[in-house]
Structure 1
Amino acid sequence: MSEELNQVEVKSFEIGDKVTGQVTKVEEKQVLVAVPGSKLDGIIPISELSSLHIEKASDAVHEGDQLELEVLKVEEEALILSKRKVDAEKAWESLEQKFQSGEVFETEVKDVVKGGLVVDLGVRGFVPASLVESYFVEDFSDYKGSNLTFKIVELDKEKNRLILSHRAVVEEEKGKQKQNRLGALQAGQIIDGRVQRITDFGAFVDIGGIDGLVHISQLSYEHVDKPSDVVQEGQQVQVKVLSVDRDNERISLSIKETLPGPWINIAEKAPKGSILEGTVKRLVSYGAFVEVFPGVEGLVHISQIAHKHIGTPHEVLKEGQEVKVKVLDANENVQRLSLSIKELLEKEVEENLDYELPEESKGFQLGEVIGDKLKNLRK
């Protein structure tokens, strides 16, 4: 063995040379390395072990490790070496390929610093807080030591700048899910969803990675002034798909159409002959539509509005007026309700009642009155 060692050529090294060394001792702030062909000890300062800040050398290497190194300085008694520079040189080449191809890769979060996360990819990679998630994160402490997927969004070897994004990966995946979800949706489907946000004109509902709009008119059979009167953010709801516009990624949904229809059991809710209160919703030439239940309007035909003859319903009624109506007929199958206002009104007194004799004629018999008239005619 000693003969083999004697046969190893003693080399003289220069700054920038690449060497291979074996770790012989790990101290707190430096590592000792045996370099074949060198009479000098190899020393790696702790600052040259990793692209990241480390507290002690044992965090980066262990005794017996074979390392690829670069000569930083040749001193009389030692070679000052760097593991960091070799790792970085190899890393930049690989990272450039990942950057150009848009590759998604997984790595461990080594540290949490002010403004974001730090990873070790042979060079220090930084993940700004705004590029960690697609939502606001107040405390990143739980991220340290976890594995996340990343894409490189900025790379500059000259400035030693490497910016990564986990958010880009998440949003890209959401985009794929959205397209898949859009492709699978069909009008008429009834699915579960969650109210994401509420606007003046309706509510946006998450139906599995994609939002659809429930217009205010589709929230309830009743009239809705404000969507927040009917639904709340975070509420689980069932919706019916009304339409899917894949080109513009728009989905129209309805909560109303998943609810029991207002005409269900209408004959029980409004039996023939019953008296209901309602609101005049529309006036047309042939009558008035009166809402007696949310979403249920019945027709009061013009002939059933008043006892007297009227030319148009506007002569007697106005929209928004509260009225009492009597149910003439209720048909659930054709969603028709016939109503009457007239039948709840007292019939007007006839103008031509039986003729009443003047006061002074009382006490006379009719025959006497007629007899007197006949005598006058004879004269």
Structure 2
Amino acid sequence: MSFSLESFQLGDIITGKIIKLEPTGVLVDFYTDQLAYVPLLELSLNEIQSPEEAVRLNEIREFMVVGNYDGKHDIFFSHCSPETLKDSDRLYEVALDLASEKSGHPINREDLLVHTKVLDVHRHGLSVRIYWFLCSQDHPPTVSFSIRKLEMRKAWERLRQLQAEDVTVYGKILNKTWSGALVKIEGLYGGIRSYVNKHKEQLVVGEKLPLKIIKVREEYNQLVLIHRSVSIRLRQLQVGQVVSGTIRGIKDYGVFVDIGDFYALLPTSKMFHPSVDNPNQFFKINDHLKATIVKLDPENGQVVLESYGSSA
């Protein structure tokens, strides 16, 4: 059972009493004129098979108010601020186009309710997530309630704190991906960036690794980690430093150099012969070389090199 959007604010935290446990969810008394049904999926951040694994009868719990929106879309608005965008004609024109395209017929402005969330403020504009609700007598905008979303919010807060405090976290590899591996930290899925890690091939499903958090972006549901040894090695490096390594990979766009604990990239544009069509003309696997660090990107675990002795 859903409730009118007018009765609640999206994102609010409200308390309710668990009145009845059912196989697929619970009935909750939010001290309104009707009980709310909260499905099993929304009772916990963990995977559960029954309500009893997450709540107890007559227990008072906190829930997050979540919107039953009809659509959402991320978009960049140039040359505006959060203040100028709010309730602007420009915002509604975009939302109307998106809603009309998704529904397959024109939507009038009076039939559309728009909520926005600013994802990022750039020098020349805003990255914004638009949520829209279609409003009519037969289709009023509604909200529902979730413990899972509340636990997710708290988990993201803990992850930001762990990142700020540079805490080592431990994650078990759930499966391997093209860029590394998937783990779960604080109940949330995260990716280990190990495409620069020379030990990528040695990752084993079920193995528990010491990790450092390098990116926490709740708005994009993005958690990125790297192996602690890679993090330590990155902090020992500086732009302008000369390093020695062994070539372990050759691509059209550059070569990957093993400089200890991970691979650094020497792109073709930073070679002595940047006009070369294929680095295979000059390099072979297991060749040793010296190079200068020209870029460090700890957030993505990347190091970019140029040929030793090259001019900037």
State the TM-score, normalized to the length of structure 1: 0.32
Whichever structure has more strand as a proportion of its residues is 2
State the TM-score, normalized to the length of structure 2: 0.38
Structure of higher RCO (CA pairs closer than 8 Å, 6+ residues apart): 2
